[in-house]
């Protein structure tokens, strides 16, 4: 379906013909020109997205990739430590199931089991993971208090 402008004010769109005033034709032409400009602009944006990367871009990508590899490696090490501690915990729990243990041995096993649980909790919970939620709570909580004061002052008038 194309748009054909004839010599007069008649416009033919596909199979439909209509009589249009000269001002609407001017507006239609402006709109067509605007759409063509937008299309060209988007074409250059898309073309720029696939252009070769500069040396600076590759260095940034390489640094980000190295940082990601380091994070994955530390996550794997942490996972292995947790897995090892869980295996030790299950062995201690099995040893506690034995009925003929002396009270000293049971106390030692409970202490070791408690220590392992503490180590597991410390590996699963990291204080650094609370840094971002803490600052978000401070930021938005403080913002809420300020907005509350402003609303209170407005309502008091």
Domain positions in the chain are 3-49, 62-128
Residue linked to tokens 């507006």: 27
- Residue 90 and residue 116 in contact, taking contact as beta carbons nearer than 8 Å: no
Cα–Cα distance between 23 and 36 in angstroms, integer?
A: 20
Residue 149's pLDDT is 93
Give me the half-sphere count of Cα atoms (radius 13 Å) on the Cβ side of residue 14. 2
Q: Comparing 83 with 57, which gets the higher pLDDT?
A: 83
Which tokens in the block code for residue 116? 């392992």
pTM: 0.42
Task: For 130-148, give one letter per residue: b (16+ CB within 10 A) or e.
Answer: eeeeeeeeeeeeeeeeeee
- Residue 13 and residue 1 in contact, taking contact as beta carbons nearer than 8 Å: yes
Kindly tell me if the per-residue pLDDT of 44 is higher than 60: no
Kindly tell me if the per-residue pLDDT of 34 is higher than 90: no
**Average pLDDT rounded to a whole number, residues 133-145:** 87
């Amino acid at each position: 379906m194309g748009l054909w402008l004839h010599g007069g004010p008649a416009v033919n769109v596909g199979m439909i013909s209509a009589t249009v005033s000269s001002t609407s034709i001017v507006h239609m032409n402006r709109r067509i020109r605007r759409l063509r400009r937008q299309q060209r602009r988007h074409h250059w944006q898309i073309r720029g997205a696939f252009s070769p990367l500069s040396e600076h871009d590759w260095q940034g990508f390489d640094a980000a990739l190295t940082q990601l590899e380091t994070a994955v490696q530390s996550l794997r090490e942490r996972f292995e430590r947790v897995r090892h501690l869980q295996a030790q915990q299950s062995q201690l729990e099995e040893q506690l199931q034995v009925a003929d243990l002396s009270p000293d041995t049971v106390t030692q096993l409970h202490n070791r089991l408690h220590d392992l649980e503490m180590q597991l909790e410390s590996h699963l919970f990291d204080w650094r993971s609370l840094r971002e939620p803490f600052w978000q709570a401070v930021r938005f909580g403080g913002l809420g208090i300020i907005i509350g004061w402003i609303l209170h002052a407005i309502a008091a008038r």
